[in-house]
């Protein structure tokens, strides 16, 4: 196998890359290490300061004012007086207490701008909450966590653990303090605010672009986490991050893993609330900052390499690779049958000449393919049409031959049959009591049956005279309905009519009745047990359609192609002339018969053209 030799230009690019990359990699690794250390130190300082600001914001804006206000309320004599009025009752409205005390309580609530409300529980189990006036059967404030914690820290304001507040449907943190009289606890006042208020405060501070803050209560419950609402009121162990409990509390950065990603964490603890604020940031963000700092260092190398390699690449791509790629794509598209594809190449060189020749070839192929496709479609259409015409002609020829034969011999056959029938009737009357009387009746019935078959043969003749006049198909169906329903009831079946309003048709009523009777009886016989035959009429495209559907098992596939041919039957006692008679009558009325069949039944459609009445 012949091996293609590498060009000098290619070898030059390879050696240039090797000479430039070796010192670049060595120096770059050292500089990156130094810069990474400095970025981490700066981030430690920055993050610790942010967490301190968050604590100060929460302490100065919420916790300290709440401590002071709740302490003033607890030590106010009117609060002690309110304890006696509330007693063991649940205050459901302002009318249940003295207006002066209600005004006093409401004024204190207005001091707590961010609170969800202010509450007061008594030692007797009574409770008042403003402004919601919350009440609940069996509610006892003494059993609540905030009440018990306040009693444990009697005489001082106490910041509770977060709890679920029923009146607002959200988690709440509260400041509570005992109300005392003569050094005895008479109740507890409490003011709470939703955790979402704390979250708003925290969201004002940004930890880089991907960072966020988690705040843990003294009981290690997560009370703020803007990025993971599902973590609220859960411990680090419950969310699968026990390492949050082990973080150093001196502000040093430590690495943890959250959701499979490496994160950096820093902790700051508040002396006032005991809450721990943990800053979390994606380690890749700091790596990004390192890369950003390192970028200028690499620029010089990249510029030099880019100028050399870029020039070679652009020239080669524009004048060689681009044209070859375009021509290759064109050949592949053409091979896959896309005759619309054209190569967009206007260069006045050898590639341009090739592109023009390719496009001309594709256009000629498209034209030739279109002509072949049109010819194939025409041939297919003609073939289908020819087969349909041949099928119709064969059916009509058979019907006409049988009809003409029947017309030729009907007279010769009927005359002796009439004579025989007459003598049989006469003998039957003379020998009424004879043991042969029953045989006479059977012979007369068989002669009548033979006469009926001859009549059906005569119906197949194309030149049979028809007595057409304007009549309504719906009226013909309604007139036949008693007879049809009687046939159906005998076999435990049913006939359903769905007749739309239709115009009168120029038809022979007697022959149309024959069509309806034949098709309906075929439908009834196609169903073994129960079922229904549905007769519908409606207008469709300047024609009236008679549709007769059964719920049988469908027409067998082996006789589908011969439907309408004489003597084609699946019945043990059938003559195979029912449908041929229908087709013959339809032909004399310029009507068309179609059908669809399947496992759930067969439906025949007879379409009559609508003709205007002559004035």
> pLDDT higher for 102 or 53?
53
Considering only CA atoms, give the Rg of the chain. Answer: 51
Task: Name the residue among 262, 283, 370, 391 with its Cα closest to residue 43.
Answer: 283
Which residue did the predictor score with more confidence, 234 or 453?
234
Range among 23-27, 32-36, 447-451 rated most confident: 32-36
Instruction: Please report which confidence band the pLDDT of residue 467 belongs to, taking 50, 70 and 90 as the band edges.
Output: confident
**pLDDT of 588 above 90:** no
pLDDT, one tens digit per residue, over 336-357 is: 877 777 777 677 777 777 777 8
Q: Convert the pLDDT of each residue in 135-187 to its tens digit.
A: 888 889 998 888 999 999 999 998 888 877 766 677 888 889 999 998 899 99
202-206, 245-249, 325-329: which is most confident? 202-206
Residue 59 banded pLDDT, cuts 50, 70, 90: confident
Residues 591 and 378: their CA atoms lie apart, in Å, by 27
Q: Report yes or no: 424 and 440 within 8 Å, Cβ to Cβ.
A: yes
195-203 helix and 8-58 helix, angle to the nearest 10 degrees: 130
Q: Return d(Cα 294, Cα 301) in angstroms, integer.
A: 12
Strand partners, 181: 184
**Cα–Cα distance between 83 and 247 in angstroms, integer?**
46
DSSP class per residue in 364-423: HHHHHHHHHHHHHHHHHHHHHHHHHHHHHHHHHHHHHHHHHHHHHHHHHHHHHHHHHHHH
Specify which residues 543 forms β-bridges with. Answer: 609
Instruction: Kindly indicate the confidence band of residue 121, based on its pLDDT and cuts at 50, 70 and 90.
Output: very high
Tokens of 1: 């196998």
Distance of CA 109 to the CA centre of its chain: 51
- Pairwise CA distance, residues 199 & 229, whole Å: 10
Lowest mean pLDDT among 195-204, 296-305, 455-464, 555-564: 455-464
pLDDT-based confidence at residue 28 (cuts at 50, 70, 90)? low
pLDDT higher than 50, residue 126: yes
Cβ neighbours of residue 485 closer than 8 Å, sequence gap 6 or more: 494, 495
**pLDDT interval class at 7 (50, 70, 90):** very low
| Tens-place pLDDT, residues 273-297 | 888 888 888 888 777 777 777 777 7
- How far are the Cα atoms of 336, 476, 522, 559 from residue 395, in angstroms, in the given order? 46, 27, 20, 14
This prediction has a pTM of 0.43
Contact 190, 215 (CB under 8 A): no
Residues in Cβ contact with 289 at an 8 Å cutoff, skipping those fewer than 6 apart: 39
Q: Is the pLDDT of residue 49 over 80?
A: yes
304, pLDDT greater than 60: yes
pLDDT at 516 over 80: yes
Q: Cβ neighbours of residue 314 under 8 Å, at least 6 residues apart?
A: none
What is the residue-averaged pLDDT of the chain?
Answer: 78
Rounded distance, CA 226 to CA 215, Å?
10
Token reading at 102: 């209600």
Question: In this predicted structure, what is the pLDDT of residue 497?
Answer: 92
Per-residue model confidence (pLDDT) at position 8 = 40
Residue with more model confidence, 565 or 234: 234
Residue count (the chain): 615
Nearest to 277 by CA among 25, 51, 450, 576: 51
Q: Give the tens place of pLDDT for each residue, 545-554.
A: 999 999 888 8
| Residues above pLDDT 70, as percent of the chain | 76
Higher pLDDT, 335 or 151: 151
Tokens of 184: 């005895």
> What domains does the chain contain, in order, with CATH numbers?
76-197 (3.30.450.20), 465-609 (3.30.565.10)
By DSSP bridging, strand 494-499 and strand 532-539 are: parallel
Cα dihedral sign, 128-132-133-138: negative
Q: Is the pLDDT of residue 428 over 50?
A: yes
Q: Which stretch of 175-189, 320-334, 403-417, 440-454 has the lowest confidence by average pLDDT? A: 403-417
pLDDT > 80? residue 485: yes
- As a whole number, mean pLDDT of residues 457-464 equals 52
Q: Is the pLDDT assigned to residue 405 strictly greater than 90?
A: no
Q: Which of 248-262, 433-447, 594-608 has the highest mean pLDDT?
A: 594-608
At 498, is the pLDDT very low, low, confident or very high (cuts 50, 70, 90)?
very high
Cα dihedral value 454, 456, 458, 461, nearest 10: -150
Q: In whole angstroms, what is the distance from residue 21 CA to residue 305 CA?
A: 10
Distance CA 598, CA 602 (A): 6
Classify the C-alpha dihedral 18-23-28-30 as positive or negative. Answer: positive
Quickly count helices (H) and strands (E) in the chain.
13, 18
Residue 515 structure tokens: 């069509």
Q: Where is 426: in which H helix or E strand? A: helix 350-430
**pLDDT the model gives residue 536:** 94
pLDDT at residue 120 above 70?
yes
CA separation, residue 174 to residues 160, 273, 285 (Å):
5, 12, 37
Confidence band of 385 (pLDDT split at 50, 70, 90): low
Is the previous residue joined to 338 through a cis bond, with omega within 30 degrees of 0? no
**pLDDT, position 5:** 43
Task: Please check whether residue 395 is in contact with residue 565, taking contact to mean a CB–CB distance below 8 angstroms.
Answer: yes
Output the pLDDT for position 360: 79
């Amino acid at each position: 196998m012949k091996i293609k030799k590498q060009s000098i230009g290619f070898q030059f690019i390879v050696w240039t890359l090797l000479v430039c990359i070796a010192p670049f990699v060595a120096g770059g690794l050292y500089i990156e290490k130094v810069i990474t250390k400095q970025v981490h130190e700066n981030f430690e300082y920055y993050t610790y300061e942010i967490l301190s600001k968050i604590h100060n914001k929460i302490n100065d804006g919420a916790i300290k004012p709440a401590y002071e206000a709740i302490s003033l309320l607890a030590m106010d004599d009117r609060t002690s007086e309110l304890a006696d009025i509330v007693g063991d009752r649940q205050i459901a409205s302002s009318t249940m207490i003295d207006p002066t005390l209600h005004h006093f309580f409401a004024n204190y609530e207005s001091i707590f701008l961010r609170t969800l409300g202010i509450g007061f529980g008594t030692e007797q189990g009574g409770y008042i909450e403003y402004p919601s006036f919350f009440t609940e059967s069996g509610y006892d404030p003494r059993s609540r966590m905030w009440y018990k914690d306040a009693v444990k820290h009697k005489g001082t304001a106490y910041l509770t653990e977060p709890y679920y507040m029923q009146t607002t449907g959200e988690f709440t943190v509260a400041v509570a303090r005992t109300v005392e009289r003569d050094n005895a606890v008479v109740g507890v006042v409490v003011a709470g605010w939703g955790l979402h208020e704390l979250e708003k405060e925290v969201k004002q501070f940004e930890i880089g672009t991907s960072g966020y803050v988690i705040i843990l209560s003294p009981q290690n419950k997560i009370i703020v986490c803007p990025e993971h609402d599902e973590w609220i009121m859960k411990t680090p162990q419950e969310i699968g991050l026990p390492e949050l409990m082990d973080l150093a509390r001196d502000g040093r950065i430590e690495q943890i893993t959250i959701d499979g990603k490496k994160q950096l964490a820093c902790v700051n603890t508040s002396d006032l609330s005991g809450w721990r604020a943990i800053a979390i940031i994606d380690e890749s963000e700091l790596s990004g900052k390192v890369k950003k700092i390192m970028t200028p260092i690499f620029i010089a190398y990249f510029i030099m390499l880019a100028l050399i390699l870029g020039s070679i690449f652009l020239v080669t791509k524009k004048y060689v690779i681009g044209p070859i790629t375009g021509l290759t794509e064109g050949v592949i598209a053409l091979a896959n049958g896309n005759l619309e594809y054209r190569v967009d190449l206007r260069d006045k060189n050898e590639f341009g000449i090739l592109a023009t020749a390719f496009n001309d070839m594709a256009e000629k192929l498209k034209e030739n393919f279109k002509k072949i496709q049109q010819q194939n479609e025409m041939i297919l259409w003609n073939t289908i049409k020819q087969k349909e015409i041949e099928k119709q002609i064969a059916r009509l020829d058979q019907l006409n031959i049988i009809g003409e034969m029947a017309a030729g011999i009907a007279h010769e056959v009927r005359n002796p049959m009439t004579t025989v029938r007459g003598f049989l009737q006469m003998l039957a009357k003379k020998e009424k009591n004879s043991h042969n009387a029953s045989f006479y009746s059977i012979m007369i019935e068989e002669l009548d049956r033979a006469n009926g078959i001859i009549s059906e043969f005569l119906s197949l003749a194309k030149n049979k005279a028809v007595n057409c006049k304007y009549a309504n198909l719906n009226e013909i169906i309604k007139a036949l309905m008693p007879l049809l329903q009687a046939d159906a009831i005998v076999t435990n079946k049913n006939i359903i009519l769905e007749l739309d309003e239709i115009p009168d048709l120029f038809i022979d009523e007697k022959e149309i009745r024959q069509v309806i009777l034949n098709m309906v009886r075929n439908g009834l016989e196609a169903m073994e047990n129960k079922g229904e035959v549905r007769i519908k009429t409606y207008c469709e495209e300047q024609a009236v359609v008679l549709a007769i559907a059964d719920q049988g098992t469908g027409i067998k596939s082996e006789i589908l192609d011969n439907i309408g041919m004489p003597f084609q039957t699946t019945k043990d006692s059938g003559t195979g002339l029912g449908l041929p008679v229908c087709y013959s009558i339809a032909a004399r009325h310029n009507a068309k018969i179609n059908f669809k069949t399947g496992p759930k039944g067969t439906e025949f459609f007879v379409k009559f053209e609508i003709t205007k009445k002559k004035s």
